[in-house]
Amino acid sequence: MERQLTAPLRIEPLGPPTKISTKQTYTHLAQFVDHLAPSPARTQLERLADALGVEVGAIAASEGEAREKKREAERAAARAERRRTREAVRVAEAEAEAKADKDALEAAIEGEEAPEDEGEEMGENFGDGPTMDDRGDVEYGDVPEDDEDEPDNETQPMDED
C-alpha cells in the first residue's frame, strides 16, 4: 500500500521539444477558443487570448477592453433573462396557488369536499396517521368527564387499623 502506483498514461517525447513564440501561442489559442462551448473556462481562455493578442500586437488594447465589456454585457443580459424566467415561474405558481385556494373555497361553500383534502383524510399525504393540522384547537378544561382509564382525582380515605 505504501508503494507508488504507476501512471495509467505515459507521455514519451518523440523528439526534442520545440519552443513556440508568443504570436504562435496566441494564434493557436484564438483558434482553439472559437471551437469551445460557452462556459467559464472559455471566458477565461478568451481573456488570456486577448491579453496575448495585445502583447504581440495582434489586437489593439482598446479592442481587448471592448471585448471584455461585451462579455460583461452578455453576462448581465443572461443574468437578467434568468431573473425574468424565475419571476415568471414564481408568478405562475402564485396564480396557480390562488386559483386552487379559490376552487377549494368555492367547493367548501357548495358543501363539497375540496379535491386536495381527500388525500389528507385517507392519510395518503404524509404517512398513515393524522397530521398536526387534523387535531382541533384544545383549550384549558377540554378534558372528557367520563374517562374510565384514568383514576379519580378525589382522594379516598384509607382504612386505618
Q: pLDDT digit string (tens) for 95-131?
A: 999 999 988 888 888 875 545 545 455 445 555 556 6
Where helices occur in 111-141 by DSSP H, the ranges are: 118-122
Q: What is the pLDDT of residues 54-111, one digit of tens each?
A: 888 888 888 888 988 998 998 899 999 999 999 999 999 999 999 999 888 888 888 7
* Overall pTM surpassing 0.75 (yes/no): no
Q: How many helices (H) and strands (E) does the chain have?
A: 4, 0
CA distance 123 to 106: 24
CA distance 30 to 27: 5
Is the four-CA dihedral 95, 100, 104, 107 of positive or negative sign?
positive
